[in-house]
Structure 1
Amino acid sequence: METNDLIKAIARDAAAPRLSLGLLLLGACGLASVIAAVVFSTLLGPRPDFAEAAHTTRFLLKFVITATLAVTALFQVAELARPNSRPRRRGALLAIAPAILLAAILMEIATIPTAEWGARLVGTNSLICLTMIPLIGLGPLAVLLAALRHGATTRPGLAGAACGLLAGGLAATFYAAHCFDDSPFFVATWYSLAIAILTLAGAAAGRLVLRW
């Protein structure tokens, strides 16, 4: 290729309309949600008493906590996608979901006899929770990492971890519809561990695929 042809090709590429990173991330979240929904529906599906459980505070709180985590993690992903990112600026938002969970735990402590705490923490589906949330979240994590490659992060590990946290929040939101353990004790222990698995996986993958 001649030099003039190369210059013209570069100019055409620069002039071509590009999708903004924000819209790209929103689209990636939409696709990630669809993937999570398909995997959830294929492997689990909602619990049989979903309609009845939807009238209880503990059941609904699970969705509030996990969805809040996903939304705040998305803000962090968007921040880390830029080379001049300041994670601390939006990092405080990530404390919202744990704060809601802590309030729920305090309510549980105040209303449930001490003798029942252990059983509620262990629950009946801990192994399924630890397995299914990461499994549901793997596809969304891959989609989010692929979208973030169109950014210019200078913190690939941290950006990957944020993607894992977002994928974990999405996966946990779907899994909550199946889970029979509604206690905040259970959510704080097993949901957190399952989401942590995806966060660590995202951090490791981010160091590999998000480097310049």
Structure 2
Amino acid sequence: METNELIKALAADTRPPPASLSTVWWGAAALAAAVAAAVFLATLAPRPDLAAAAGTLRFLFKFVVLLTLALGAFGALRILSRPEGDLRKTVPLLMASPILLVAAVTLELFTTPSESWPERLMGTSNVYCFLLVMAIGLGPLSIFLLAMRHGAPSRSGIAGAVAGLLAGGIAGTIYVLHCTDDSPLFVATWYTLAIAGLSGLGALAAQRLVRW
């Protein structure tokens, strides 16, 4: 080995090892939550009756269903970011939140008069909710797409879609603090549309940006 090659080899040995994929994902999740919270604080305010609402089941249910989505999508995305990631293992993680939401909607339909359903579904801030959840979720989605580049997903489009679900779960959880529409019908419609939009954006972006 020549002197120059030896120096290069020694220099390479002193470089710090790259961060593990697990560290990258936990760091990305923390940063995404911080960015979403910053956007919320810069543009919105908590609902005026937050203290009273926090003691109601409907308000707490929104937190539960959206946090369940975020946690499930985070676990699924960590699986899909590896080339050997098994898509079947992600199904139970991603199904928990929809099952909770369907159960809540079914209960509401059985316990409320049918003439109140349109009002509950439309709420008072439907388009506003859709746009703001999308806006809050864009920063987290960008962070997760960058984090995916540290892995090697074999299905980048699907992984990107799950990244959108994760971003939407985080954005929705934070937006709950502002939203005064607590009906499961409203959540199932407008939150779901916003999160689906982020998921679609994630799928399209990942196919272009995440390749290996």
What is the TM-score when the length of structure 2 is the normalising length? 0.94
Once residues 111 and 29 of structure 2 are traced to their aligned partners in structure 1, the CA distance between those partners, rounded to angstroms, is: 37
Structure 1 range deviating more: 107-116 or 63-72 = 107-116
Counterpart of 1:131 in structure 2 is 131
Q: Secondary structure at the match of 2:181?
A: coil
Residue 135 (structure 1) shift: 0.3
Residues 7 and 125 of structure 1: is their aligned pair in 2 closer, same or farther, counting only changes over 3 Å? same
Counterpart of 2:54 in structure 1 is 54
Superposed, 1:70-85 pairs within 5 Å as 70-85=70-85
Once residues 7 and 198 of structure 2 are traced to their aligned partners in structure 1, the CA distance between those partners, rounded to angstroms, is: 43
Give per-residue Cα distances to partners, 1:130-158, cap 9 Å, x unaligned.
10001000110111111111111111111
Q: Secondary structure at the match of 1:69?
A: helix
Which residue identity lines up with residue 12 of structure 1 in the other structure? Answer: D
Residues 29 and 121 of structure 1: is their aligned pair in 2 closer, same or farther, counting only changes over 3 Å? same
Residues 129 and 12 of structure 1: is their aligned pair in 2 closer, same or farther, counting only changes over 3 Å? same
Counterpart of 2:23 in structure 1 is 23
Q: State the identity %.
A: 47
Once residues 172 and 6 of structure 1 are traced to their aligned partners in structure 2, the CA distance between those partners, rounded to angstroms, is: 52
Q: Secondary structure at the match of 1:83?
A: coil
Which residue identity lines up with residue 150 of structure 2 in the other structure? Answer: H
Which residue identity lines up with residue 20 of structure 1 in the other structure? Answer: S
5+ residue gaps, structure 1, are: none
Superposed, 1:52-131 pairs within 5 Å as 52-131=52-131
Counterpart of 2:186 in structure 1 is 186
Once residues 184 and 76 of structure 1 are traced to their aligned partners in structure 2, the CA distance between those partners, rounded to angstroms, is: 25
Confirm or deny that 1:4 pairs with 2:5.
Answer: yes
Aligned residue pairs: how many? 210
Which residue identity lines up with residue 53 of structure 1 in the other structure? Answer: A
Once residues 152 and 10 of structure 1 are traced to their aligned partners in structure 2, the CA distance between those partners, rounded to angstroms, is: 27
Residues 42 and 83 of structure 1: is their aligned pair in 2 closer, same or farther, counting only changes over 3 Å? same
Residue 85 (structure 1) shift: 1.0
Once residues 135 and 99 of structure 1 are traced to their aligned partners in structure 2, the CA distance between those partners, rounded to angstroms, is: 26
Which residue identity lines up with residue 75 of structure 1 in the other structure? Answer: G
Which residue identity lines up with residue 17 of structure 2 in the other structure? Answer: P
Superposed, 1:156-171 pairs within 5 Å as 156-171=156-171
Structure 1 range deviating more: 105-114 or 170-179 = 105-114
Residue 10 (structure 1) shift: 8.6
Which residue identity lines up with residue 98 of structure 1 in the other structure? Answer: P
What is the TM-score when the length of structure 1 is the normalising length? 0.94
Give per-residue Cα distances to partners, 1:167-209, cap 9 Å, x unaligned.
0000000111111110000000010000001000000110111
Counterpart of 2:211 in structure 1 is 211
Residue 104 (structure 1) shift: 0.8
Residue 5 (structure 1) shift: 5.6
After the TM superposition, which parts of structure 1 deviate over 3 Å for at least 4 consecutive aligned residues? Answer: none
Q: Pairwise CA RMSD of aligned residues?
A: 1.7
Once residues 102 and 44 of structure 1 are traced to their aligned partners in structure 2, the CA distance between those partners, rounded to angstroms, is: 29
5+ residue gaps, structure 2, are: none
